[in-house]
A and B are shown apart, each in its own frame.
Chain A
Amino acid sequence: MQTPGEEALVERARRGDPDAFEALVLAYQSLAFRTAFLIAGDATDAEEAAQDGFVKAHRALRRFRSGEPFRPWLLTIVANEARNRRRTRGRRAALALRATPVPHAPGEDPEEAALATERRQQLLTAVEGLGDDDRDVLACRYFLELSEAETAAALGIAHGTVKSRTHRALARLQEELQ
């Protein structure tokens, strides 16, 4: 969904206002980098993909349809850049859990916390064991919390494919974890 303020920013950026485009970059640089990182699996590739994505988006702004949501449109470009880099590299580094665990809440059982960490690692390993198509759709839907429509745009696939691929990937995960 596009907020009225953002729609105005996009319009100003389309007309060549550099301040408006800067505001859009500032608003979306974190999401663009995170999206690229979750697809490419490498910080340098992700930085380049996000940067190239913004530059290409700027070039394509005139073709952007007024009133359309900007976020999925941008993510389409960034995700495509990230996938290209992953393809060029021929492999993707596996995601990892943060080395420094989140501090336990007061009263939280350390043993339960350790079990939760173990379970997360097990789940992450299972996600990383999926094929790129399944993994990408889960990353978009659950790690980036994109809607089905945004996921479809980012990955360049049909809305129905997002649904079926998500269903398939979750079933595979469930099977792997049992």
Chain B
Amino acid sequence: MTDLELELRDLAAHLDVPPAPPLFGTVLARVTRRRRRRRVVALAAACGVAALAVGFAVPGSRASLLRFFHVRGAAVTLVDRLPPLTGDRSLGQPIALEQAEFRLLLPSGRRPDTVYAGDGGYWLRYPGLLLFEFESGGGPEILKKAALGTSDVEYVQVRGEPGIWIGGRHALYLPGGPPVAAGRTLIWQHGSVTLRLEAAVGLERALAVAHGVH
């Protein structure tokens, strides 16, 4: 290999390439949706959604719900089967960062590419990372999630406050919307705000980002 070729290899390590966004949730949702459509099992799918919705709404009826995790404003339920998921996720109305009704917390103080107002909070989009923030003091649960019982879900702590790590594909329920596919996610409390971070990274990296949020 010539010096120039070695220099090109070295250059690769210094290029500003954004981290890969979490693709697998959306890809699998699109693939699953197509397969399901092909098999014409709409009725069964509707029944699945209805059953899970009942499970969420009526705590006493959660026969198929295996375990429950909770932080302020968010709940994660382990189930034995995920509902049909959509990959389409409208994040809401784009707004300026300063238009938010409370001071948005930023990873390492970095401004996001775009801020959207929607789902009772604010979505902050960064390359390879999606952050959702909402004021959770005393309010209802905004985020509801269902993950397979075999998933890697655990309680964690971020700066001494409780959080939940979901290390795999799961269903995200936003107010009034259908369940959407989501990938690895960290949810945690920070003062009066609850945050949700989704990125294709492991727990350690997610915690590092969360610790840098201020």
Contact = CB atoms under 8 A, between A and B. Distances in A.
A34 B128 CA distance: 11
Contacts of B26: 51
A38 B128 CA distance: 15
A119 interface: yes
A142 B28 contact: no
B7 A22 contact: no
Contact of B23 (A32, A37, A59): A32
Interface stretch (B10-18, B42-50, B132-140, B186-194): B10-18
Interface in A135-171: 138, 141-145, 170
Contacts of B169: 22
A47 B23 contact: yes
A44 B181 CA distance: 19
Interface string B144-177: 0000000000000000000000000100000000
A139 to B, nearest CB: 9
B31 interface: yes
A99 B128 CA distance: 17
Interface stretch (A3-11, A23-31, A103-111): A23-31
A123 B8 CA distance: 8
B2 A30 contact: no
Interface string B173-207: 00000000000000000000000000010000000
Nearest to A27: B24
Interface residues of B, number: 33
A96 B17 CA distance: 8
B21 interface: yes
Pick from B22, B23, B200 the residue with the most CB of A within 10 Å. Answer: B23
A22 B11 contact: no
A25 B16 CA distance: 23
Contact of A18 (B5, B11, B28, B127): B28
Contacts of A95: 15-17
B23 A54 contact: yes
B40 interface: no
Contact of B27 (A43, A54, A123): A54
A10 to B, nearest CB: 15
A119 B14 CA distance: 12
B20 interface: yes
B113 to A, nearest CB: 8
Interface string B23-45: 11011101110110000000000
A70 interface: no
A30 B20 contact: yes
B9 interface: yes
Contacts of B2: 170
Contacts of A99: 16
B4 interface: yes
A40 to B, nearest CB: 12
Contacts of B31: 18, 21, 54-55, 58
5 contacts: A30-B20, A96-B15, A120-B10, A124-B15, A170-B2
Given A16-B35, A50-B20, A170-B2, 4 more contacts: A34-B20, A38-B15, A55-B31, A120-B11
9 smallest beta-carbon distances between A and B, as pairs = A142-B8, A33-B20, A143-B12, A25-B24, A30-B20, A29-B23, A54-B27, A96-B16, A98-B16
